[in-house]
Amino acid sequence: MEEQIEQFTVYLQQTKGLSGNTVDSYRRDLRQLGQYLERVQEITDFRETTPGHLKQYFQMLGREKKASTVSRRMSSVRAFYRYMVKMYLIKEDVSESLQSPRQEQDAPEVLTVEEVRLLLEQPSGDRPRQQRDRAILELLYATGIKVSELIALKISDVNLRLGFLQCKEGDRKRVIPFGNHARAALLEYMDRGREALADIRCETLFVNCSGQAMSRQGVWKMVHGYGEKAAIQKEVTPHSLRYAFAVHLIENGADVRSVQEMMGHTDTGAIQKLAAVYRHNSREEYAQAHPRA
């Protein structure tokens, strides 16, 4: 079993180009599955696994671990058995029928600063799509904007020199600062990546491989995919970055009201109207508190 795991991890490194930390996470998950199969099912070859074996394993895991942990380990196992099918080591994907556990919705887990850093490192190449994805991830975390606001951004809404962007929602608008990491990623994408992707008539900032404005689903899949690639043990969505933006700022001492203004968010009461112009005190709060300012 160990040999099968090592062959898979070599594939992840050489073919998929995953980082060492990510590969280690896959290896750890599969070793734990292998230990269970040997100890409980008396199986010494992953090719002998049945859907029933995997179901029993994850039922046992569900009694001991959080749903987010079970879900991430399930992702590792699915990736492994898809690889086994691709390499003609097994005929059928025995993980196909696995159902991810339902996770609690009332208190979403917040990505740590380290998890965000790991996520932002995933699109590390110099191809236009990777430059675009890197700029999107950096901007989502740097500003806390919604996906609907992100995909509606036009080139003219971004001021790279001063480091802020303008979001519009109906007749309201707000201006949000962003730091040097987001600025560098945006500059790289706008100088090189976007030109290779965009239709010349398209004014939208972020475009898909057809040169048109990206969709909400396209951004969601992209962010989620990089979360899986980074082997983060939490659900990773665009909203995860919006939530992390707020929590990390507040944890580092930012004023709650300034953060709410930057997010365009209102509390259960009405705190105050959304900021309609770029405010100096918001930028000061941002520069002092955001981890990537």
Q: What is the chain's pLDDT, residue by residue, as a tens digit (293 residues)?
A: 999 999 999 999 888 888 788 889 899 999 999 999 999 989 999 999 999 999 999 999 888 888 878 888 999 999 999 999 999 999 999 998 888 776 554 445 788 999 999 999 999 888 999 999 999 999 999 999 999 899 999 999 999 999 999 987 666 788 999 999 999 999 999 988 898 888 778 899 999 988 889 999 999 999 999 999 999 988 899 999 998 898 888 888 877 778 878 887 644 333 233 333 223 344 555 555 566 65
d(CA 171, CA 39): 64
Q: What's the pTM value of the predicted model, to 2 decimals?
A: 0.56
The length of the chain, given as a count of residues: 293
Residues whose CB is less than 8 angstroms from the CB of residue 205 and which lie 6 or more positions away in sequence, other chains included = 153, 154, 155, 157, 158, 190, 194
In angstroms, rounded to a whole number, what is the distance separating the alpha carbons of residues 194 and 186? 10
Q: What pLDDT score does 247 carry?
A: 86
For helices 216-229 and 238-251, give the axis angle rounded to 10 degrees.
70
Residue from 234, 236, 206 nearest 224 by CA: 236
pLDDT of amino acid 288: 57
Q: At what angle do helices 280-289 and 238-251 cross, to 10 degrees?
A: 90
Beta bridge partners of residue 177, listed in sequence order? 164
Rounded distance, CA 72 to CA 254, Å? 32
pLDDT for the residue numbered 291: 63
Cβ(255)–Cβ(290) below 8 Å: no
Contact 269, 168 (CB under 8 A): no
DSSP state of 100: P
